[in-house]
Structure 1
Amino acid sequence: MTELPHTRTRMVHWLGTAVALAAVVGASSLVQPADATAQPTLTTAAAGTAPDPKQADFPVDCGSASVKVDVVEKGSTDFDGDGRRETVASVRCHSGTGTPPSALFVLGAPARPGQAPRVVATMLRTKEQMSVQDLRVHGRTVSAKLLGYSSPSVPRCCPDRQRKVKWEWKDGKFALEAAPVPGSPESV
């Protein structure tokens, strides 16, 4: 049986994935939406109530106003210890087929009662062409597995790269830490 060309892993593929993830790490720590901050503002929301991601307006371009944004996974905790919970949401554009890329956002309470929850941090953008799996939110840490592709010729149904990552709330911002690439000398 002949192995498909895109299923063979070579060191150059892993190095390419490592470089791409390093770019994601660097970009996510430097690039934020203009209106996003890492700290939620004071509101009158109940202390134990986490923002509802289904009520949020996520900065995701689905190509058409008629295409909705699906909340795929979510979790909540009080990252900054102020008594108000934040929600982490993995979202993607709705699609009947295929797997559109994910985005990962942190939501804070609305600026005013009755308004939608606010995006206070962006951890992953759809333009990075990755999918999020196994989202976990615990204490001050968000962890997930990111799935990606070694090249544009790999079918979007079948990611051939993966890496575990975690974001930890430190000194008023999220610090991203990526696990070593599977099969690399660092992972042994």
Structure 2
Amino acid sequence: MTQLPHTRTRTVHWLATTAALAAVLGASALLQPADATANPAESTARASGAPDPGAAHYPMDCGGASARTDVLDKGTADFDGDGLAETVAVVRCKAEGGTPPSAVFVLAHPAHKGAPPRIVATLVRQKERMSVKDFTTGAGTVSATLLGYSSPDVPRCCPDKQRKVKWEWKNGKFALTPAPVAGSVSV
């Protein structure tokens, strides 16, 4: 049986994919909106009163003015210790079929009454072309498994790469900690 070229994995492919994923995730963790106002804390949030992810306006390209987004998952925690819960939302463009890429946003309460929730951090950007599974929030942390593709030739239905990640609230921003790549050796 002949294997297709994109199904044969070599060490160089894994290293290149790991380096690219680490660079994208590192850059997205460092880039935070200028209006992020949270302070460090480790308390668990009250779920009541958390920002409604369905009311937020997400900076996503969904292919037209009438295109909408779906909130696939959400979690709440009081990351900054102010007694008000923030909401973390996994969002993607609404689609009739296929698997559009996801994004992960942290929402805070609106700046003024009647306004939509504010996006204070973007943990995964839509343009990174990843899907999110095993999403959880806890005291000061957000965890997930990110699914991606080793090349443009891999069908968009079937991600062939995955990496567990965790963001921790430290020094007023989210710090990304990727888990080791499966099969790698820690030194």
Structure 1 residues 113 and 90 mapped into 2: Cα distance closer, same or farther (>3 Å)?
Answer: same
Residue 43 of structure 1 aligns with which residue? Answer: none
Post-superposition shift, 1:147? 0.3
Matches for 1:78-97 after TM superposition, within 5 Å = 78-97=78-97
Runs of 4+, deviation exceeding 6 Å: none
- % identical equivalent positions: 64
RMSD: 2.0
Pick which of 122-131 and 1-10 moved more: 1-10
Post-superposition shift, 1:25? 2.8
Residue 32 of structure 1 aligns with which residue? Answer: 32
- Three-state SS of the structure 1 residue aligned to 2:23 is helix
Matches for 1:140-155 after TM superposition, within 5 Å = 140-155=140-155
Matches for 1:6-21 after TM superposition, within 5 Å = 6-21=6-21
Instruction: Check conservation: 1:38, 1:173, Cα contact below 8 A.
Output: no
Partner Cα distance (2:175, 2:58) in 1: 22
Matches for 1:159-178 after TM superposition, within 5 Å = 159-178=159-178
Post-superposition shift, 1:186? 2.9
Q: Any stretches of 5+ residues in structure 2 without a counterpart? A: 40-45
After superposition, give the CA deviation of every residue in 1:17-76 in whole Å (9 maximum; x if it has no partner): 21122212321133234x541528xxxxx9941101000001111121111011011100
- Give me the TM-score of the superposition, normalised by structure 2: 0.89
Count of matched residue pairs: 181
Q: Any stretches of 5+ residues in structure 1 without a counterpart? A: 41-45
Structure 1 residues 95 and 56 mapped into 2: Cα distance closer, same or farther (>3 Å)?
Answer: same
After superposition, give the CA deviation of every residue in 1:67-95 in whole Å (9 maximum; x if it has no partner): 10110111001011110000000101111
Matches for 1:107-118 after TM superposition, within 5 Å = 107-118=107-118
Partner Cα distance (1:150, 1:29) in 2: 21
- Give me the TM-score of the superposition, normalised by structure 1: 0.89
Instruction: Check conservation: 2:32, 2:120, Cα contact below 8 A.
Output: no
Structure 1 residues 80 and 153 mapped into 2: Cα distance closer, same or farther (>3 Å)?
Answer: same
- Three-state SS of the structure 2 residue aligned to 1:80 is coil
- Three-state SS of the structure 2 residue aligned to 1:185 is coil
